[in-house]
Amino acid sequence: MQFFDLVAMRCDSLEGLAGRLGYKKIFCAGRDLDIVENLSASPRRKILRSDDFETITKALKQNDVIGVMPEGASVSNKTFDAIKNSEKILFIAFSPVTRAETGSRIQKLAKVRSLVRNTLRSKTPFAIITLAEDGSEIMSGAQMLEVAGFFGIPQKHAKEALHRLGGLL
């Protein structure tokens, strides 16, 4: 199964690195797609970053929105249902947790674990990405699988979640 990742950084040096890290391709926010906080007119495909249910339901009706990334970590059951029914996906980013300082790390780990549990329970399709903001935050495919396992995502689901982004772009 081929893995894909999404990062939010300069992508000049990622071509060779993607293969070494076990990815088919690393997509870049700002080049391959946009991450937006409200519905703006942009020619590229978009991921909506919002916690507001109204904004999310509006966005899910648009063809160029491929999925939703929760800004906080709490997503309501209504939002899960809306995402599932619209056949879009939920994006879960790992680098905000791995780069967290010692003080806030436990809190962020608990939030992501809760998000993962609720996502798995609601059977909403999801993708896991690093969303790295610099080179130190990127993780290899093997690391993503281990971190996913640490959050309670079964290996099979984790592999599907790493593969899912490739089918959308």
The site for other proteins (CB under 8 A) is made up of 17, 20-22, 98-99, 134-140, 142-143, 146-147, 149-150
User: Least distance (Å) from other proteins to the CB of residue 28?
Assistant: 17
Tell me whether residue 56 or residue 148 sits nearer to other proteins (CB atom).
148
Tell me whether residue 1 or residue 62 sits nearer to other proteins (CB atom).
1
Tell me whether residue 91 or residue 151 sits nearer to other proteins (CB atom).
151
Secondary structure (H, E, C), the chain: CCCEEEECCCCCCHHHHHHHCCCCEEEEECCCEEEECCCCCCCCEEEEECCCHHHHHHHHCCCCEEEEECCCCCCCHHHHHHHHHHCCEEEEECHHHHCCCHHHHHHHHHHHHHHHHHHHHHCCCEEEECCCCCHHHCCCHHHHHHHHHHCCCCHHHHHHHHHHHHHHC
Contact status, residue 6 vs residue 26, Cβ threshold 8 Å: yes
User: Least distance (Å) from other proteins to the CB of residue 142?
Assistant: 5
Contact status, residue 126 vs residue 161, Cβ threshold 8 Å: yes
7 sits in the region (left: phi over 0; alpha: psi -120 to 50; else beta) called beta
Tell me whether residue 84 or residue 108 sits nearer to other proteins (CB atom).
108
User: Least distance (Å) from other proteins to the CB of residue 158?
Assistant: 13
User: Least distance (Å) from other proteins to the CB of residue 145?
Assistant: 9
User: Least distance (Å) from other proteins to the CB of residue 21?
Assistant: 6
Tell me whether residue 81 or residue 134 sits nearer to other proteins (CB atom).
134
